[in-house]
Structure 1
Amino acid sequence: MASHRKSRTPGPRVAGIRTPALATAALTSVALLSQTANAAPTDDDKPSLEEVERKVDDLYRQAESATEKYNAAKERTAKQRKRVDTLLDDVAKRTQRLNEAREELGSFAAAQYRTGAGIPDTATFLLADSPQDVFDQRQLMDRMTGRQKEAVDDYVTQQSETMRTRQEATKSLETLTESQGDLKTAKATVQRKLTDARELMAKLTAEEKARLAAIEKEKREEAARKAAELARQQQAQREAAQQDSGAGTQDPSGSGSSGSSASTTAPPADASYATKAEKALAFARAQIGKPYVWGATGPDSYDCSGLTQGAWKSAGVTLPRTTFDQVDAGTTVPVSQAQPGDLVFFYDDVTHVGIYIGNGKMIHAPKPGTYVREESIFYDGESSIHSVVRPA
C-alpha cells in the first residue's frame, strides 16, 4: 500500500543533519561575512594623515611623560644607593668597634677567670648574647672596676646600634631594589612609545610625509604669530608700567592708575634675577643644535628638564631634576608677564619645559629626533601652556 506522506525535497546536510533552505541562506551569509572580515583592509580602513599625526604626537607626549618618570626613578635610585652605601660603611665601622669592645671584654673575662672569680673561659664569654648578663649572673659587677663596667656598657651599646644600622641597611636595600624596578619599567615604557611612534611614521608615503611637513609649517607660522602678539602685549605693559610709575611719583597718596596696575601685574624681577637669567640663557643658547636624548643632562645631549636644570645651574641656582618638581621651584607668574629666564611648563601633566627668552619665544629640547632650538612658546597651541615659573 502506497504511503500518503509527501516527499520532501532533498536539502544539503551539515554534519550529517539535513538543513532547510532558510538555514542554508543564513549559513551562506555567515560565510560571506567571514570572507569580508578576513579580507585585506581597503584604503577606507587606513587612518587619515591627521589621525596618524595625532597618534604620533600623543605617543611622543607619552614618551616624554615616561621620560620624566624615568628621571624621577633614576634620581630616587641614585639617592637610595648613596644611602645604602653610607649605611653599609657605618655598619662596617660599628662592627669594627664592636669587635674591639668584644676583645677588651674578653681580656677582662680572662683576667677574672685567672683570679678564680668563676667567670667561664673567654670563648664562652664572647659567645654569650649579653656579656653584661654573664657578669650580672655571676654577681661580679661589684668586683669590676669603673673602666670594666664602662667597657661592658659600651659593648652593649655598640651591639644594639650595629644591629639597628644593619636592619636599616637591609630596608634601604629593599627600597633600592624597588627603585631599580621602577627605573627599568619607566625605561621600557619610553622605548616602547618611541618605537610605536617611529613605526607609524615609517608607514607614511613620501606624499603623506610632504603633507605632514606642510601641516607642521602652518602650525609654526601660527605659533610665530601668537608669539609676536604676546611680544606686543608685553611691550605695551612695560610702557604702561613706566607711565604708571611716573604718575605714582606725582601722587604721594599712592592712589590712581598705579594702584590698579599693581593689582594686575606680578612684581617685576629684580636686577639680581636679571643677572642670573642672563647667565642661564647664555648657557641655553650654547646648547642649541645638540640632540634631544631622553634622560640626558648634558653636556652633549639633553632632555627638556635636563636642559633647564643645566641652564640655571650655570647661574648658581639648583633646580630639581624633573618637570614635576621644577614647576614648584619658584614663583608662578602670568604668561603675559613672562620675563627672560622664566620656565614655561606645558600640558596638564606638566611633562615638558622650556626657558623663556622673550618675545614669546623659548629655548627647549622638544622631543626625540629633534635638537635643542628656539621656538615659540605656542608651538603646540596656546592651551598646551600649563604655567610660567620664575625660579630665583
Structure 2
Amino acid sequence: MTPWTWTPRPHGHRTTAAVALAIALTAAIQQPAGAEPRTPTTLTEVKAELQRLYHDAEVATDKYNAVDVKVRAQERRVGTLRSRIQATESNLTRLNSLAGAAAAAQYRGGGLPAEVQFVLDDDPESALDNATLTRRAQQSTQELVKALRGTREKLRTRTDEASAELKRLENNRRTMSADRRTIEQHITAAKRLESSLAEKQREQLAALEAQEAADAQAEWVDTGILDQVGTQATPAGRKAIAYATKQLGKPYVWGAEGPDSFDCSGLTSQAWLAAGVTIPRTSELQWAQLKHVPIATMRPGDLIIYFSDASHVALYTGDGKIIQAPRPGRWVYVSPAASMEILGVVRPDA
C-alpha cells in the first residue's frame, strides 16, 4: 500500500519569527581556527546538522539491531546443531560398543541380544529411523555396520553445518562492530557540536526545536485528523502503553531494549512484548512486517513510523501524543505525534 505521509512544514509567521529570533540572538557561532568550511554558523544550521548526525546514527543503530537479531538467531541455531551433534556422538558411541555384542550374538545364534534391541528401539535420534534400523539390524550385522557408517556421515554433515553457521556468525559480528563504530562516530560528532555551544545558545536551540515541533503539531491538528482517529486502545494496546509510560525518564542508549535504557525500537518492541505480542526488533522491520493502517484510523497502541527510511518509531498514546526514545542525550518522553515526518502507522495486534 502507499502510505499517507505527513511532512511537517514551516507554519506561517511563528516559525519564521522563531528562526529570525534565533539568528538574531546568536549572530554567529565562532569557528575555531582551521575549521572546515561547512561548519554550521547559526542556530538553524546547527539544528539541521544535529538532526542529520542523529538521523544517521539512528539509521546505523537500526542496522546494528538488525544484525544483532540475526546473530542471536544464529547462536540459537548453532546451539541446536551442537545438541544434535552431541546426541549423534552419544548414539554412535553406544552403537559402536554394542556392535561387537551384536556380531557375537549372530555368530552364536543369528539374533540380536535384548540390550541391543532396547537401545535401538529407545534411541531419540530421529535421523536414524530406528524402526527401520532395528528391522535391518535383526537381519544382518552387516546392516548394523552400514547404519553405523551412515551415522558417521550424518555427524560429519552436521559438523560442517555447525562450522558454516559459526563462520557466518563471525562475519555478522564483524559487520556489527563496523556498525558500532559508525554509530559512535555520528554520536561523538553530534555531542561535540552541541558542546561547542554556550549555555544560552543551547537554551535557544532547545526553544527553537520546541517551537518547530509545536508548529508542525498545530498544522497537523488543524487538518482535523484527531476527529477521525480512534481513541480506544485494545486490552493489549493498553498494556503496551502502560509499559512505555513506566519507562518515562529513562535514557536513550543505542542498541538498548531495557530495562534501564532504550533506543526507539527497543522501547516499542519491549512495550508490545509486555502486552504478550512479539514484534520485530527494528523500526525498519516493524514497518516492513506489521500491518499498515491508515493514519485516520490509527488508535492508541499503534506504532507511528517516521522518515522515508523508517528509521524511527514511537508508540501512539492518543490525543495526538506519542511516547518515544528520541536520541542520545535525551530520555524517554511524551511528545507531539507530528513533530517529525510521519511515514505511516502499523498495528502490532492486528
Match of 1:325 among 270, 276, 285: 285
Q: Could you say which residue in structure 1 is the equivalent of 2:322? A: 362
Alignment deviations for residues 363-392 of structure 1 (CA, whole Å, 9 cap, x no partner):
111111111111112223xxx211111221
How far did residue 149 of structure 1 move? 3.3
Q: Could you say which residue in structure 2 is the equivalent of 1:379? A: 339
Q: Could you say which residue in structure 2 is the equivalent of 1:130? A: none
Gaps (5+ residues) in structure 2?
1-31, 109-136
Q: Could you say which residue in structure 1 is the equivalent of 2:299? A: 339
Could you say which structure has the greater relative contact order, defined with CA pairs below 8 angstroms and 6 or more residues apart? 2
Name the CA distance, whole Å, in 1 between partners of 2:272 and 2:95. 51
SS in 2 for 1:328: helix
Name the CA distance, whole Å, in 2 between partners of 1:145 and 1:350. 63
Distance 1:229 1:357, change over 3 A: farther
**Following superposition, which runs of at least 4 residues in structure 1 exceed 4 angstroms of deviation?**
39-46, 106-114
Name the CA distance, whole Å, in 1 between partners of 2:36 and 2:310. 38
Q: Show the 5 A alignment for 1:68-217.
A: 68-107=62-101, 146-217=139-210
Distance 1:146 1:202, change over 3 A: same
TM-score by length of 1: 0.67
How far did residue 337 of structure 1 move? 2.7
Matched, 1:390 2:350: no
Q: Say whether the 8 Å CA contact 1:329–1:391 is kept in structure 2.
A: no
Q: Count matched residues.
A: 289
Q: Say whether the 8 Å CA contact 2:304–2:345 is kept in structure 1.
A: yes
How far did residue 153 of structure 1 move? 2.9
Q: Say whether the 8 Å CA contact 1:330–1:391 is kept in structure 2.
A: yes
- Give the counterpart letter for 1:301 in structure 2: S
- Give the counterpart letter for 1:278 in structure 2: R
Alignment deviations for residues 4-40 of structure 1 (CA, whole Å, 9 cap, x no partner):
xxxxxxxxxxxxxxxxxxxxxxxxxxxxxxxxxxx95
- Percent identity over the alignment? 35
Match of 2:225 among 207, 210, 233: 233
Q: Say whether the 8 Å CA contact 2:226–2:320 is kept in structure 1.
A: no
- Give the counterpart letter for 1:388 in structure 2: V
Distance 1:107 1:366, change over 3 A: same
Q: Could you say which residue in structure 2 is the equivalent of 1:65? A: 59
How far did residue 146 of structure 1 move? 2.0
SS in 1 for 2:288: coil
